[in-house]
Chains A and B, each alone.
Chain A
Amino acid sequence: MKRIAIVTQRCHESVVGGSEALAWQYARLLGGRFEVEILTTTATDCVSWANALPAGATQREGIAIQRFPTVFERGEYWYELHRRLMLEVQPHLAPPPCLWRAAQQEEYIRFQGPYCPALEDWLLAHRGDYAAVLFCTYLYAPSYFGIRLIGPRRAILIPTLHDEVPAWLPVYAARYAAFPHRIWLTEAERRTATRLWGLDGGAVLGMAVEQAQASAPASLGAPYLLYCGRIDAAKGCDELLDAFARLPGRDRAKLVFTGSDHLGLPKHPWIEYHGFVDEARKRALMAGAAGFVLPSRYESFSIVALEAMAQGTPVLVNGHCEVMREHIETSAGGYCYTDTAQMIERMTTLLALDAPARARMGAAGRAYVLARYGEDTVRARLVDCVEGVIAAADRAQASAA
């Protein structure tokens, strides 16, 4: 079997993070076809990047992991650079003016962390051993500094790009322009890259979504809307609460939350907080809900909304989030809203849907997820993509020899 590596900033059971979950899933999906190795840091905290795990080789579910220590934690120095960046870059103006020389932009990336010279040393010493190296997340130092050690033929970038201020730093666009093999999660992400970096090549693959249906839908004694995930104002949960509070007939319905509560959910008879639930319970809650609501504006993929769609549940999403709007508009598996009034109106509709109408909408959503994000579908496309890159690189190498 050919050996490939996946570089990512963190990898551990305890780590909750979108791009880390993606890297891990891709490692699993590629595991049967390649000898996969994850190259990552010893950090578990994505703010400080403190060394928390032992450095060296280990295994997780049969996949080899190499961890390398970070040489410093994020500190006052980086926060000051960050503060200046926020003041000096005005994302409203495109392209935003930036007085920072390239060296200073790279300084920002280096001190943002996790900075792992040993990981770079490893890539340099072992680059000949890998048929391909995947770099997950454009933002962090392991990808930015690591990818230049691997030639453009065998490096594959998985950017998980958002429209955020650092993404506008010209060094990112310049660096990644030289690496033509890219994997995008959605078309919307690729369009963002075209707008921000002027790049658009690469494959749109997405992420596999659990499709097993719940054995029995949950029943909570009243129709309910469901939210799963981090309960936080940054995710729009305050807007959700506010809208639900103003819902006509809210006392005959419920708003159900699962996940970690960072907002401090108020106590109302119509709010039910279930804390952390296991996967089976989550699926049952999704299957039993009148609708699944995702009020966040900033989602790069939102696996949880797709999971709800896989349960045949209509979803309601924030239309300001391009990625989510695309999921809904393509699938017809739910509704978008753009303001609070519309949000209330859509919630009312969802709670009042009769069984056949709900089933029609749910089936459309489920069909969409199965067709695009079934594990076998994503695995096949991913393996094709990686094999294609390796074959082209081998051909180029042979013709050069």
Chain B
Amino acid sequence: MPTMHSAVAAVHGSDVRPDGLATIAANLALLARWQARAACWLVAGDLRTGLPHDLLEAFELYLARCEADARLIVLATGAHEPPQALADALQACAASAQIELHAAQPAVLKAALLAADALILSDAASDPAVTLAALELGVPVIGSAAAATAALTGAAALLWPGATPALLAASMERVRQDARLRGILRERGFSDWNLRRTASEPPA
């Protein structure tokens, strides 16, 4: 059997089975909490220096102008505990009651991906493995078009060169409202992920 999703496996180490995040069970308690009518934003990355300001601003703009009860899930990758500086920063911000912070353990990451309306990428907050997992599982990806993220997602993500908070918030609103857009992003994401997977395999 060829090994799939090696990027995810490499980042999360032995917790993830070789056949990827797809076969891992989500944390059901978290899934139940996150799976609600209100919008659910997901950000993941090595956030030791805190959440990028543009992302926080975009979320606060969305709360103020689009949906007051939206939620933001922040997953810190690369550590078993979320960094304390990040926790403090999130508690101090105005929208703290609607932000949740977790370490990106596989079951938590899976729950977040299943519940999220979209994974938001920014130059300072992204993780290639999480991005690939989102493409595989059919979670729309939106964000800023830094070179690295664009190469990773191809045409499968809604990316903006020089994304502003307003563009991110408006993108999320559109993704929430537009089933056709979601369908296109999901199917393209999957084909991209599939191409990447087959390209990295030895020929059968």
In-complex A–B contact (CB below 8 Å): yes
Interfacial residues, chain A to chain B (CB-CB below 8 A) = 71-72, 77, 80-81, 84, 99-104, 106-107, 110-111, 115, 117-118, 121, 124-125, 148-149, 174
What's the least CB distance linking A78 to chain B, in Å? 9
Q: Is B33 an interface residue (CB 8 A)?
A: no
Contact indicator A99/B37 (Cβ below 8 Å): yes
A111–B198 alpha-carbon span in the complex (Å): 23
Give 7 pairs: A residue, B residue, CB < 8 Å, sorted on A.
A81-B28, A84-B32, A99-B36, A104-B35, A107-B26, A107-B114, A115-B23
Q: Is B1 an interface residue (CB 8 A)?
A: yes
Nearest 5 Cβ contacts at the A-B interface: A104-B114, A77-B25, A103-B137, A125-B204, A103-B114
Q: Is B59 an interface residue (CB 8 A)?
A: no
Contacts of A149 in B (CB 8 A): 194
Given A72-B23, A100-B35, A106:B187 Cβ within 8 A: no
Q: Which of B19, B115, B186, B187 contacts A104 (CB 8 A)?
A: B115
Q: Which of A72, A103, A117, A148 contacts B139 (CB 8 A)?
A: A103
Number of B interface residues in the complex (CB < 8 A) = 32
Given contacts A77-B26, A104-B35, 11 further A-B contacts (CB under 8 A): A101-B139, A102-B138, A102-B182, A102-B186, A103-B137, A107-B137, A110-B22, A115-B23, A117-B19, A174-B179, A174-B183
A84–B114 alpha-carbon span in the complex (Å): 14
Q: Which of B23, B113, B179, B187 contacts A103 (CB 8 A)?
A: B113
Closest to B5 in A: A117
Contacts of B60 in A (CB 8 A): none
Q: State the majority secondary structure of interface residues on A.
A: helix
Q: Is B162 an interface residue (CB 8 A)?
A: no
Contacts of A117 in B (CB 8 A): 1, 4, 19, 22
A228–B182 alpha-carbon span in the complex (Å): 48
B124-182 with Cβ < 8 A to chain A: 137-139, 179, 182
Q: Which of B23, B36, B40, B187 contacts A148 (CB 8 A)?
A: B187
A323–B22 alpha-carbon span in the complex (Å): 37
What's the least CB distance linking A55 to chain B, in Å? 10
Contact indicator B186/A71 (Cβ below 8 Å): no
Most buried by B among A101, A110, A124: A101
A71–B3 alpha-carbon span in the complex (Å): 13
Given A77-B25, A101-B116, A104-B115, A121:B2 Cβ within 8 A: yes
Most buried by B among A103, A106, A117: A103
Contact indicator A124/B194 (Cβ below 8 Å): yes
Given A77-B28, A101-B115, A117-B19, A106:B138 Cβ within 8 A: yes
Q: Is B190 an interface residue (CB 8 A)?
A: yes
Q: Which of A71, A100, A103, A107 contacts B19 (CB 8 A)?
A: A71
Most buried by A among B32, B36, B186: B186
Contact indicator B114/A101 (Cβ below 8 Å): yes
Q: Is B117 an interface residue (CB 8 A)?
A: yes
Contacts of B137 in A (CB 8 A): 103, 106-107
Closest to B117 in A: A101
Contact indicator B19/A101 (Cβ below 8 Å): no
A334–B103 alpha-carbon span in the complex (Å): 65
Q: Which of B1, B40, B139, B198 contacts A118 (CB 8 A)?
A: B1
Q: Is B63 an interface residue (CB 8 A)?
A: no
What's the least CB distance linking B93 to chain A, in Å? 26
